Structure 1
Amino acid sequence: MGAGMGTASARPAHMSTAYDERVHSAASAQTRRARPSWPVALAVLLALVAGLLGAGAAPASADGTSADLTITGLDPATVRVPSEVTLSGTLTNTGPNRLAGATVRLWSARGPITNGDALSNALSAEQDVTSTPPVPGAEASATVADLDAGASAPYSLRASSEALGLMSASSAYLVGAMLVDAEGGLIASARTVITCPGEGGYQAATVAVLSSAPSLVPSTDDGAAGQAVLTDDHLAAEIAGGGRLDLIADLAEADDVSSLIDPLLWDELTAMSSGYQVRTGPGTTADGTGQAAAASFLDRLRRIAANGRSHRTLYGSPDVTAAAAAGRGELVGAAEDALPAAHPLAVLPLAVVTDGSSTSQAIVDLLDGVDPGLVLAPDLDADGEYYRVDDLAMLATHESIAQGSAGDGSDSDAQRAARLRAEQLVYSLSGSPAVDVVATADAARAELAGADGRARVTVDELTASQQPVTTSAQDTAPSSPTDRSGPERTARGDLGVYEELTGRGPGIDADALTLAAWSSSFPSDADADEYVRTALAPISQALSSGEVSVHISERLVIPDDDSALPVSVTNTMSVPVRVRIHFASDNPGRISIDDTDVLEIGAGESVTVRIAPRATSNGDVQMNAVVMTTGEHATELGPRSEFVVSANSSGRVAWVIIIASGIVLMAATALRVKQVRHERARAVEDAARGRRAAE
């Protein structure tokens, strides 16, 4: 590399491919902070289109030859002085026939990449690797031993940084490996990025997010029922050595890394450290496996929280964007209120990570209500800019960082780490260090891989060093692909039905379960729904375990006005119920029947009550009866059953029961309560949507 590492070199004469032209055009563009003028932007666009038209994957071989080429090692990953570079990986014969006569070769695009737009274009565009100049050196290519179908073999290629064209400091370069057949036809290729930071190095900001999908079943008994119950034991796996949270904690413990800690994670670890149960079925649990690990990890969190670089999230890390889009913005305030003042994390400043629509007026208003010290927003201009949106401090973050690169085998740890270093370098050159929010194991490994020349800054240092760009909230409606309304309806529906039917609390905190269902830590809506359904499994099983039925004789004639009619009510459910029987008359002025008192019926038990019709004149009157709950919102438990009461001239009353079997007057189940409650909920939601539309 020689003297070329200190200053940008002139373009080598041999660089004449369309891709090289495209990279140089992009590399000469200004950074995101200073936008290119339209002629330059047009030139970049035309060059990119030309490159895309001329590039492409290897054509399908007539004999079905195909292979996968992966990159698993790059040494050194950062080049600051002239050195030998080794690229290693694995190739696999994915075709139906034996792979013979193939060669694996190094390739290099050679054009220095110095800004974010050029890097994005280089990584997303197809690369015609066979047209790149050959990389000189005896170890820059290797003949592949014959491979049977499905077989794999390692490869290792080596060349000097000068041979690869790594001639400019403060740049990134696209390099890779290609597999070609005996005629030079491309079989497979893979790419990565080498970073050349220069003597001055570069800056980056890293935020480690310590949060996990909720698994604790929120109880209302304050521990009186014994050990906490979790819906699964995924948290034990995440805090174990090499697990997702273990890796993110390793990162949080590194110098100058900022952290966000979810108070719900703290509380779940606290519950686990005292011994806990994991739900294995609607009525069964097993001992959890992570008690000791939870206690140890909680100690790590205490040290991280006290390092002066940590913030807390809203309780449970609710998806603010999704909640706002669904008209459930009150959950944001509820999440802040859920944190007790005496909680160990309450002293930390609040930071919120959004998932889009960050500058929407609706979201700005919601966040303003909880007064976060900082909002991390992936949808702002992604060059590390610091914004002031109304009264909120917002910092742009990077969504694509550490995701590898396009092409075959683009998701190895080595490629993700290389992509991370390159993106951090080129954005640092613009004066706004990249902000990487780390919430996955892959991203944590990329950050932990290390980077020669990188100096991290905390988000507090980053915001203190910049003047914010002032902007106003936008009059746009928030939108999100996430919608947790379904899990929320399930939670509130089942818990409400249980309490209404049994007259007692279900032992699960409905508000806490609902808030947990909206957590952004769930990978998908389906995962949130599974959490809610598992938490509710004993309740749901009880509600579906039987019915409440009423029995009466098919036809009764009451001999005098003071006689009462016996009615038997049976509860075949596995839980006690509180119900009453309601009678409605088409002509109450002639004949009427009072509702029964509240009937408390144990699981699997029956009770008999006596009811007395009152008649004031002769004739037939149509009536119906239905079993109802006794809660604040009394709900009919089944279809109404019709019958006729006949009063004769002597004042006697005759009953004619009009039913199919003549035995069961009515049968009621919890399903009916759920249906009615869902209908009510939908009516409320429709009314709310109508009000929002009118506004």
Structure 2
Amino acid sequence: MRAVRALLATLLVTVIGLPVLVAAPLLTATTAHAAEPEAWARVSIDQVSPALPSRDQPDEKVTLSGRVTNTSDVELSNLQVAFWRSLDPIETAEGMTAALASAANDPLGARALGGSLFVNVPSEDDRTLEPDESTSFTITATLAQLELPDIDGIYLIGVHLRGRTDSVGPDITVGRGRTFLPVVSETPKEKVRQTSVVVLSSRPSLVRTGYFADDHLVDELSGDGRLTRLLEAAGAQGTSFAIDPALVQEVQAMVAGYRVLSDDGTSREGTGAAAAQTWLSRLAGLITSGDGYRLPYGNPDVTALVHDGDTGRLREAVRIGAQVPATAGLRLLVLPGNGTADEETVQAVAALDPAVILLSDATIRTATAIDSPVLRGPAGSTLVRYTAGASGGGPGPAPRSTPAKVQQRMLADTWIAARSAPEGSPAGRVRVVTDPNQTAGRDNEVAAPWLAGATLTQLLTATPAAWSGEYRYTAGARDAELTAAQLAAARGLSEQFGTYTDLLVEPRVAQADAAIALPRSVSLSWRDDETRSQRYTSTVEDYLDDVLYERISLGVIPRVSTTGRLGTFPITVRNDLPAGADPDTNAIKVRIVFGSSASQRLTVAPIDIARVDAGQTVTVDAQVQAETNGSVRVRAQLQSPDGISVGRSKPVEVTATQAGTIGWLIAIAAGIVLVGTTVLRIRQVGRERAAEEHEPEPLAVSRPPDRADAPDGSKDTLDV
């Protein structure tokens, strides 16, 4: 039966696999997983030794180690771990895809027989696990005992956990674990030139200078923490790394001494200074000797910013990142979320002049195989196409992404790629590592005769290949971006920081805090984590609210009275921001404006105050202009020089008590003038009439007829 099965496998490769070898030497990114059979326990395969057994040594032992955990709510008894394997070799990318998608009981395979091919767990004397209880196991078999067919290929191997869910019931398979095992005797002629890029970044925590939202970095920087393990992987031979300058700045802040904020606004001393110092020392060595690149500061969600029309924020992240001394000498690398992007995003990123733009094979798909993953991008940029599945886990069931499974998956993938590569054209392969489980072993160095390591810098020496320029950006990729609410919250912070900066005589403090918080508010880390995202932005917002609404305030007298049309009343500006050694630190410049409920009756002129030092107050007189008597409610409001409201407005009731006196005086004076003028006119008219009565009669004057009418024709004459 084994011989027949091997022959069928060979025929399938010949009939079906050949086109695949030519067109798709590298595996695709996504794999749909079949529903798993019912299980009562989880089986984790944590070590495979050796990773590449030699077929020429049939007595060589293959050892699997791991852990089993009772995930049910019943006691599991009579437990035994048995070696399992499939006798069907996998020789093509299509076969690998099918194996990754298959359920744990497909193919059925067979448990290996023999006295050493099963072990009782937890021990010979105790074969019971209570719910949530777990135990380790180690099981060994020689290649001869596994009875694999004499065909080079990738084989599924693993264990079956046998036991009882009922103490008087039958033995059944209560859990399964599988991984890949390359068993080959002939080395492929071509090699796969593999480049691993380890991404060193973490969820943002620093909210302003010296203050953190939480202390999660302590665990990540510890001896066996996530960032420590990634740093070790980044130092492996032939490996490159890309680091977020914001992470470096956070770790440096921990070394300098920091405080961790609580939800109630209080803070406590941070505890991670020692771990941070150790990590920084190792990082310095890696930067000196390794192949490194820097990400934009805060590792922002590039596609979300571009689609939101906020490319300015992206440029600012690049600018700030270039100013962090530890990473300033590294070249810029841009990695959009999940390596997916559309043409608009790539065009915007290319304008930043990065050394490389990393995109996954889910975004860049080609109809034919591309020997080099280095592609020609827009505006002279360089794209590097990475295989999204290269750091993926092994076959199910979960957990799929243990280091051992990742290691075996990588060896299997690259063997198929090397075997499929055209003669004289070695395949290039790039994988991105963001989690320690993707490092393919503790040291990220797995030797295989068909595998050649290459740094990203070495890879970039290749001439970029031309391609169609078509990007694949799905609706699902768009939905994965930061939400509209998250982007709106970030814009709100930007507006508040703008006000804070405008208030300060010397804005260095506000600018430094803005440079910390604004790029972090749009970090990729907040995708699918709106709760932590909101907590971060709320923490920054609470700090700014305290500055703008509590520390800077107005002091007024609630009720004031003025006499006359013009008057004054005192008003005080208080600056409770902390003072520094520099007298300009936290000194502010403000404007006070007044809103009147009846501006036609009473107004108060705005006041500009050039300086209020930190911890000081300044009192000035507000100028009132009243048109009528009575009370008018006025609200005093602080503003930045640009006219943005600051702090809380304060009401003042202004009462004008003699605002109409002058008006009445003017009216009375006008009446007196009118009466006097009238009297004088009457007297003048009387005098004129009296004079007319005493004057002589005027002489009578007659005019003779015209000369033409005179009988004698003489000239005109006057006769008196």
Provide the TM-score with structure 1 as the length reference: 0.72
Q: Which residue of 1 aligns with 2:416?
A: 426
Q: Which residue of 2 aligns with 1:458?
A: 455
Does the 8 Å contact 1:262/1:312 carry over to 2? yes
1:355 to 337, 345, 353: 337
Does the 8 Å contact 2:376/2:464 carry over to 1? no
Q: Which residue of 1 aligns with 2:493?
A: 491
Residue type of the alignment partner of 1:209:
V
Does the 8 Å contact 1:193/1:422 carry over to 2? yes
Partner SS for 2:77: coil
Does the 8 Å contact 1:624/1:640 carry over to 2? yes
1:209 counterpart = 2:170: no
- Call closer, same or farther: CA 1:475–1:535 in 2, change over 3 Å: same
Distance in 2 separating the partners of 1:174 and 1:313: 38
Instruction: Please report how far the alpha carbon of residue 56 of structure 1 lies from its aligned counterpart in structure 2 after TM superposition.
Output: 4.7
Unmatched 5+ residue regions in structure 2? 164-168, 422-426, 579-586, 665-720
1:552 counterpart = 2:543: no
1:397 counterpart = 2:386: yes
Instruction: Please report how far the alpha carbon of residue 603 of structure 1 lies from its aligned counterpart in structure 2 after TM superposition.
Output: 6.7
Distance in 2 separating the partners of 1:27 and 1:106: 31
Does the 8 Å contact 1:405/1:411 carry over to 2? no
Does the 8 Å contact 2:386/2:432 carry over to 1? yes
Q: Which residue of 1 aligns with 2:45?
A: 71
1:582 to 594, 597, 620: 594
1:444 counterpart = 2:439: yes
Q: Which residue of 1 aligns with 2:522?
A: 518
1:635 counterpart = 2:612: no
Q: Which residue of 2 aligns with 1:127?
A: 104
- Call closer, same or farther: CA 1:593–1:639 in 2, change over 3 Å: closer
Q: Which residue of 1 aligns with 2:229?
A: 247
1:595 to 590, 606, 616: 606
Q: How does 1:170-319 map to 2 (within 5 A)?
A: 171-181=153-163, 183=170, 185-196=172-183, 198-200=185-187, 203=192, 204-216=194-206, 230-269=212-251, 275-280=256-261, 282=265, 284=267, 286=269, 289-290=272-273, 294=276, 296-307=278-289, 309-319=291-301
Partner SS for 2:337: coil
Q: Which residue of 1 aligns with 2:703?
A: none
Distance in 1 separating the partners of 2:73 and 2:354: 58
Distance in 2 separating the partners of 1:457 and 1:110: 34
Does the 8 Å contact 2:104/2:396 carry over to 1? no
Instruction: Please report how far the alpha carbon of residue 443 of structure 1 lies from its aligned counterpart in structure 2 after TM superposition.
Output: 2.0
Instruction: Please report how far the alpha carbon of residue 569 of structure 1 lies from its aligned counterpart in structure 2 after TM superposition.
Output: 5.8
Partner SS for 1:188: strand
Does the 8 Å contact 1:550/1:570 carry over to 2? no
- Call closer, same or farther: CA 1:22–1:103 in 2, change over 3 Å: farther
- Call closer, same or farther: CA 1:329–1:526 in 2, change over 3 Å: farther
Partner SS for 2:100: helix
Residue type of the alignment partner of 1:553:
R
Residue type of the alignment partner of 1:74:
V
Q: Which residue of 1 aligns with 2:478?
A: 479
Distance in 2 separating the partners of 1:160 and 1:175: 12
- Call closer, same or farther: CA 1:472–1:91 in 2, change over 3 Å: closer
Q: Which residue of 2 aligns with 1:614?
A: 626
Partner SS for 2:331: coil
1:57 counterpart = 2:37: yes
1:149 to 130, 133, 155: 130
Q: What are the superposed Cα offsets for residues 308-330 of structure 1, whole Å, 9 maximum, x if unpaired? A: 63333334433322322322222
Does the 8 Å contact 1:113/1:172 carry over to 2? yes
Distance in 2 separating the partners of 1:601 and 1:311: 43
Does the 8 Å contact 1:24/1:112 carry over to 2? no
Does the 8 Å contact 2:67/2:136 carry over to 1? yes
Partner SS for 1:420: helix
Distance in 1 separating the partners of 2:532 and 2:497: 20
Residue type of the alignment partner of 1:194:
L
- Call closer, same or farther: CA 1:231–1:310 in 2, change over 3 Å: same
Percent identity reads 19
2:430 to 424, 432, 435: 435
Residue type of the alignment partner of 1:13:
V
Q: Which residue of 1 aligns with 2:397?
A: 407
Root-mean-square deviation (Å): 4.6
Distance in 1 separating the partners of 2:14 and 2:636: 78
More moved, 484-493 vs 472-481: 472-481
Residue type of the alignment partner of 1:290:
A
Distance in 2 separating the partners of 1:16 and 1:407: 29
Does the 8 Å contact 1:70/1:89 carry over to 2? yes
Partner SS for 1:470: coil
Q: How does 1:532-571 map to 2 (within 5 A)?
A: 532-534=537-539, 538-543=543-548, 545=550, 548=554, 550-553=556-559, 560-561=564-565, 564=567, 566=569
Distance in 1 separating the partners of 2:147 and 2:657: 104
Q: Which residue of 2 aligns with 1:327?
A: 309
Does the 8 Å contact 2:373/2:430 carry over to 1? no
1:104 to 74, 81, 95: 81
Partner SS for 1:488: helix
Unmatched 5+ residue regions in structure 1? 1-9, 42-47, 60-65, 220-227, 654-695
Q: What are the superposed Cα offsets for residues 168-198 of structure 1, whole Å, 9 maximum, x if unpaired? A: 6663222222234574643221221112354
Partner SS for 1:92: strand
Instruction: Please report how far the alpha carbon of residue 99 of structure 1 lies from its aligned counterpart in structure 2 after TM superposition.
Output: 2.8
1:28 counterpart = 2:17: yes
Q: Which residue of 2 aligns with 1:62?
A: none
Residue type of the alignment partner of 2:350:
D
Q: Which residue of 2 aligns with 1:676?
A: none
More moved, 573-582 vs 639-648: 639-648
Does the 8 Å contact 1:173/1:194 carry over to 2? yes
Residue type of the alignment partner of 1:385:
P
Q: What are the superposed Cα offsets for residues 333-355 of structure 1, whole Å, 9 maximum, x if unpaired? A: 22333355894644443322222
Residue type of the alignment partner of 2:465:
P
Partner SS for 2:439: helix
- Call closer, same or farther: CA 1:90–1:126 in 2, change over 3 Å: same
Distance in 2 separating the partners of 1:451 and 1:268: 33
- Call closer, same or farther: CA 1:90–1:29 in 2, change over 3 Å: farther
Residue type of the alignment partner of 1:75:
S
Distance in 1 separating the partners of 2:500 and 2:334: 35
Instruction: Please report how far the alpha carbon of residue 602 of structure 1 lies from its aligned counterpart in structure 2 after TM superposition.
Output: 8.2
Does the 8 Å contact 2:489/2:537 carry over to 1? yes
Instruction: Please report how far the alpha carbon of residue 377 of structure 1 lies from its aligned counterpart in structure 2 after TM superposition.
Output: 1.1
Distance in 1 separating the partners of 2:338 and 2:401: 25
Distance in 1 separating the partners of 2:655 and 2:351: 60
Distance in 1 separating the partners of 2:69 and 2:54: 33
Provide the TM-score with structure 2 as the length reference: 0.70
Q: Which residue of 1 aligns with 2:465?
A: 468
Instruction: Please report how far the alpha carbon of residue 368 of structure 1 lies from its aligned counterpart in structure 2 after TM superposition.
Output: 1.8
Distance in 1 separating the partners of 2:236 and 2:339: 32
- Call closer, same or farther: CA 1:316–1:627 in 2, change over 3 Å: closer
- Call closer, same or farther: CA 1:161–1:586 in 2, change over 3 Å: same
Distance in 2 separating the partners of 1:215 and 1:439: 18
Distance in 1 separating the partners of 2:464 and 2:640: 62
Does the 8 Å contact 2:559/2:654 carry over to 1? no
- Call closer, same or farther: CA 1:286–1:374 in 2, change over 3 Å: same
